[in-house]
Structure 1
């Protein structure tokens, strides 16, 4: 729940920022000189890119949450098997064992989105965000029957 609140607050702040930057871009365009129009267009590009990025990220999170809900309904959500130190850090040996188990599961069933979802969760738990995101993108694509990204 805390993550959702943080996400929505951050998104709201970004939207306010995009509106402020966009209004400055429009003001520059209204000046009408070659230099201010050029800067105005450049300034307006930033909110467009930001809105696109925010939209894509929100779609990704919503799709991942839908897969989690579907997997939970099936009783297939992964159990956190990682051993942690008293300070909360993940024990490297236990992480390696979990990753080996998840990778083997994924190699045995490369077309099963559930395996890729569980692998993504294992990467996320170990704070390996790039690999977690790629594995989740693959799970989403497999679930939706779309071509799988490499």
Structure 2
């Protein structure tokens, strides 16, 4: 389902580039300084947006690859407590679990698996920003790790 969403967003982005390119051309050829500035902005700003989307897609692919590998190894964190209907850890149970996985990740600072598990638990606890940072660290560590 997420891949279908990425494809739809990608197609919308292509359509956006075509339409924006047409407007940019019209503004750039207007001869007016404001029009030229707007035309330049219509070229630069979508490129920045495309770069940001590309980075997010790369992150998603790399995170999914590591998650699949960790799951195949049987290393994903087990559900230790009752989850809320949204799939989150109840707030009362979250802090001790996150702290335990954080301590494990600190003890094994070069192990991408420990950092990835921490990210999964942080995400389940509703700490999305921390989870993304931990998974980014796991991706970096996995790239730096020797071996296959």
Give TM class, smaller chain: 0.7 to 0.9
| CA shift in 2, pair 1:85/1:143, >3 Å | closer
Structure 1: gaps (5+ residues): none
- Aligned match of 1:91: 90
Q: Deviations over 1:85-104 (max 9, x none)?
A: 46766321221121022111
Farther-moved stretch of structure 1 (72-81 vs 125-134): 72-81
Residue aligning to 1:114: 113
Distance 1:141 1:65 in 2: 14
Q: Determine the structure 1 residue equivalent to 2:101.
A: 102
> 3-state DSSP class of the match of 1:32?
coil
- Could you tell me how far 1:108 is from its partner in structure 2? 1.0
Q: Normalization by structure 2: what TM-score?
A: 0.85
- CA-atom RMSD, angstroms? 2.1
User: Aligned residue pairs: how many?
Assistant: 145
CA distance in 1, matches of 2:54, 2:40: 21
Aligned to 2:129: 130
Q: Relative contact order, CA 8 A, sep 6+: which one is greater?
A: 2
